[in-house]
Amino acid sequence: MRAVDIIIKKRHGESLDEKEIRFFIEGYVKGEIPDYQVSALLMAIFFQGMSAQETAALTQAMLDSGERMDLSGIPGPFIDKHSTGGVGDKISLPLAPIVAACGVRVPMMSGRALGHTGGTLDKLESIPGYITDLEPAEFRKGLLEEGFAMTGQTAHIVPADKKLYALRDVTGTIESIPLITASILSKKVAEGAEGIVFDVKCGSGAFMKGYDDAKALAKSLVATGKKMGKKVVAVLTNMSQPLGYKVGNFLEIEEALDCLEGKGPKDVMELTYWLGAWMLVLGGKAKDVSEGKSLCEEAIESKAALNLFYRNVVRQGGDLEEMQKKRGSWRSEYSIEIRADKDGYIASIDALKIGLAGVYLGVGRNRTEDSVSPTAGFIFDKKSGYHVSKGERIATLFGKDSQSLEAAFPLALNAISIENTAPSISSLILEEITVS
- pLDDT, tens only, 75-104: 999 999 999 989 999 999 999 999 999 999
Q: Do 38 and 179 fall into the same domain? A: no
pLDDT at 112: 80
Residue 328 maps to a domain: no
- Tell me the pLDDT tens digit for each residue of 389-429: 999 999 999 999 999 999 999 999 999 999 999 999 889 99
Structure-model confidence comparison of residues 72 and 397, the more confident one: 397
Is residue 156 part of the annotated active site? The answer reads no
Residue 68 maps to a domain: no
Q: Confidence class of residue 57 from pLDDT cuts 50, 70 and 90?
A: very high
Residue 61 maps to a domain: no
Q: Do 223 and 190 fall into the same domain? A: yes
Q: What is the CATH number of the domain that holds 215?
A: 3.40.1030.10
Q: Do 375 and 308 fall into the same domain? A: no
Give the Cβ contact number of residue 328 at 10 Å: 9
Mean pLDDT of the chain: 94
Q: Do 313 and 338 fall into the same domain? A: no
Residue 70 maps to a domain: no
Is residue 187 part of the annotated active site? The answer reads yes
Cis peptide before 75 (omega within 30 of 0): no
Q: Could you say which of 290, 323, 356 is where a domain stops?
A: 323
Q: Do 261 and 123 fall into the same domain? A: yes
Is residue 370 part of the annotated active site? The answer reads no
Output the CA–CA distances (angstroms, integers) from residue 90 to 123, 230, 255, 258, in the order listed.
8, 25, 8, 11
Q: Do 307 and 231 fall into the same domain? A: yes
pLDDT at 425: 87
Q: Do 357 and 225 fall into the same domain? A: no
Output the CA–CA distances (angstroms, integers) from residue 146 to 308, 309, 358, in the order listed.
6, 8, 33
Is residue 83 part of the annotated active site? The answer reads no
Amino acid present at 229: G
Which is the catalytic residue, given 22, 81, 168, 293? 168
Q: What is the CATH number of the domain that holds 375?
A: 3.90.1170.30
Q: Confidence class of residue 13 from pLDDT cuts 50, 70 and 90?
A: very high
Which is the catalytic residue, given 110, 183, 348, 373? 183
Q: Do 20 and 139 fall into the same domain? A: no
Output the CA–CA distances (angstroms, integers) from residue 299 to 74, 97, 326, 390, 406, in the order listed.
22, 9, 25, 42, 43
Is residue 161 part of the annotated active site? The answer reads yes
Residue 35 maps to a domain: yes
- Tell me the pLDDT tens digit for each residue of 219-261: 999 999 999 999 999 999 999 999 999 999 999 999 999 999 9
- Can you tell me whether residue 110 is helix, strand or coil? strand
Q: Do 36 and 141 fall into the same domain? A: no
Q: Do 348 and 209 fall into the same domain? A: no
What helix, strand, coil percent values describe the chain, rounded to 5? 45, 15, 35
Q: Do 294 and 392 fall into the same domain? A: no
- Tell me the pLDDT tens digit for each residue of 291-331: 999 999 999 999 999 999 999 999 999 999 999 999 999 99
Distance between CA atoms of 40 and 36, rounded to whole angstroms? 6
Q: Do 107 and 35 fall into the same domain? A: no
State the burial class of residue 76 (Cβ atoms within 10 Å of its Cβ: 0-12, 13-18, 19+). Answer: middle
The answer to whether the CB of 240 falls within 8 A of the CB of 227 is: no
Number of folded domains that form the chain: 3
Which is the catalytic residue, given 22, 81, 90, 187? 187
pLDDT at 334: 98
Distance between CA atoms of 307 and 329, rounded to whole angstroms? 22
Q: What is the CATH number of the domain that holds 25?
A: 1.20.970.10
Which is the catalytic residue, given 89, 161, 199, 350? 161
Which is the catalytic residue, given 81, 82, 230, 382? 82
State the burial class of residue 390 (Cβ atoms within 10 Å of its Cβ: 0-12, 13-18, 19+). Answer: exposed
Of 31-45, 145-159, 349-363, 383-397, least confident by mean pLDDT is 145-159
Residue 179 maps to a domain: yes
* Residue 45 in this model has a pLDDT that exceeds 80: yes
Residue 62 maps to a domain: no
Determine the structural domain holding residue 383 and report its residue range. 334-419
- Helix-helix angle 3-11:18-30, to 10 degrees: 130
Residue 191 maps to a domain: yes
Q: Confidence class of residue 436 from pLDDT cuts 50, 70 and 90?
A: low
